[in-house]
Amino acid sequence: MSVTTTQVKRAFKYRFYPTGEQAAELSRTFGCVRKVYNMALAARTEAWTRQERVNYNAPSAMLTAWKKTGELAFLNEVSSVPLQQCLRHLQAAFTHFFGKRAKYPRFKSKKKSRKSAEYTSSGFRFRDGRLTLAKMRDPLDIVWSRPLPEGAQPPTVTVSQDAAGRWYVSPLCEDPSVKPLPATAAAVGVDVGLDHLLTLSTGEKIANPRHERKDRARLAPAQRRLAKKAKGSANRAKARQQVARIHARIADRRRDGLHKLTTRLVRENQTIVIEDLTVRNMVRNRSLARAISDAAWAEFRSMLEYKAAWYGREVIAVDRFFPSSRLCSACGTLQEKMPLHVRTWTCDSCGTTHDRDVNAAQNLLAAGRAVSACGAGVRPQRSTPGGQSAMKQEVLRREP
């Protein structure tokens, strides 16, 4: 396997505490970014209906014209850099759409969309560990929880505010510490689930922490209080932020646990084999949508893939229709039926007794090695009539 030595660009995220003046300036900037993005998207959509394809230059010229109108003169009050950057982001969204890598761009909602603004090097000053944004006199009060790479000069800085009201700044820097790890012969198959978050082909089972369930006693009363508040009232805004704080705490702990798991797997193994799951379809199961979302299988895979790319490892996704649970990992015999309540079973052909999840992980590893050897995709017969994979069967079983 060839290992790339390309320098990795990495975003370092830090908490900061703005003054009242800085918070007001950033809030105005977020609103203007959203306004410009939506107006440019509307203009490009109209051109799309006329079967005209426009690039970044047309909305950029429109922005200059908008600023000269009395109705949109407020756009001059904020830095022009984030406004130009949001147009570049829109251009990237259309590029992905035309390349059939994403859906058509959507309008940004005032309540639901992420509040953020990106500044290029012309829109900020970074000296001696002090970051000052355009249109601001004083530097941001940043909590440098970890140092930036030595001599780092970030080309872009993204400022954001989450639903819980916390402010973050993310400088994008080249990180020389990210280098390919020494090659190893170790490989592992990973079977994800709800009873256990991960089951490895080595036989190890990693418990599902169920962060959302642990905080449900705090979350449910907060949501009930929010539901009782009058819409549009200040008390409703306070109650909404309280719910957001609980969700943020859950997400932080979940993300921290996944980072530790994925880092460990990447460091210990050269090849990691997982199942190619369609989580978006799985969460349509109302009885298990909350549990599946809490397990965060999609986030786990995303972390695993980008860390593997960083450190010269390989992640193989086996086809979702591969019957990993019903296939004997010892002799290869395919069982006709495997009810969901059966957690251990004995092969009729060779007499080997299997743990259902460990056997599935071992079969995934074997299939992944076959993919790595021949360079082709794995697409064996469907595991059940109607085309449901073993993992799709698993999510039909209610949480214990």
pLDDT value, residue 4:
46
Q: What is the pLDDT of residues 360-377, one digit of tens each?
A: 899 999 888 887 776 554
Distance CA 137, CA 297 (A): 44
* Regions of the chain with pLDDT less than 50: 1-4, 377-400
Cβ distance 36 to 79 under 8 Å? Answer: no
Query: Domain limits of the chain?
Result: 8-175, 187-208+257-374
pTM of the model: 0.84
User: Cα dist. 97→49, 92, 102, 107, 146 in Å?
Assistant: 15, 9, 5, 14, 37
Helix (H, G, I), strand (E, B) or coil at 192: strand
Q: Which of 118, 294, 357, 394 is catalytic?
A: 357
The predicted structure's pLDDT at residue 89 = 96
Give the residue among 122, 108, 132, 112 at the shortest CA–CA distance from 21: 132
What residue has token string 């918070």? 23
Catalytic residue among 118, 275, 294, 394: 275
191 a catalytic residue: yes
Backbone angles phi, psi at 104, to 5 degrees: -65, 140
Instruction: Tell me how far apart the alpha carbons of residues 212 and 219 are, in angstroms, rounded to a whole number.
Output: 9
As a whole number of angstroms, the distance between CA 32 and CA 86 comes to 10
- Supply the pLDDT for residue 182: 94
State the catalytic residue, choosing from 25, 191, 212, 294.
Answer: 191
Residue 261 is predicted with a pLDDT of: 96
Name the packing angle between helices 234-268 and 297-311 (round to 10°). 50
Question: Nearest CA to 63 among 32, 89, 107?
Answer: 32
Q: What is the predicted pLDDT for the residue at 375? A: 59
3-state secondary structure of 47: helix
pLDDT of residue 305: 94
| Helices 20-49, 80-98: inter-axial angle, 10-degree rounding | 40
Specify whether 357 is catalytic.
Answer: yes
The whole-angstrom separation of Cα 156 and Cα 133 is 11
Q: What is the pLDDT of residues 242-281, one digit of tens each?
A: 999 999 999 999 999 999 999 999 999 999 999 988 888 8
Nearest to 72 by CA among 115, 25, 36: 36
User: Residue 195 catalytic?
Assistant: no
pLDDT tens by residue, 100-153: 999 999 999 988 889 999 999 999 999 988 999 999 999 999 999 999 988 888
Contact between 29 and 78 under an 8 Å Cβ cutoff? The reply is yes
- The answer for residues whose C-beta is within 8 angstroms of residue 130's C-beta and 6 or more apart is 139
- Say how many C-beta atoms besides its own lie within 10 A of residue 133's C-beta: 24
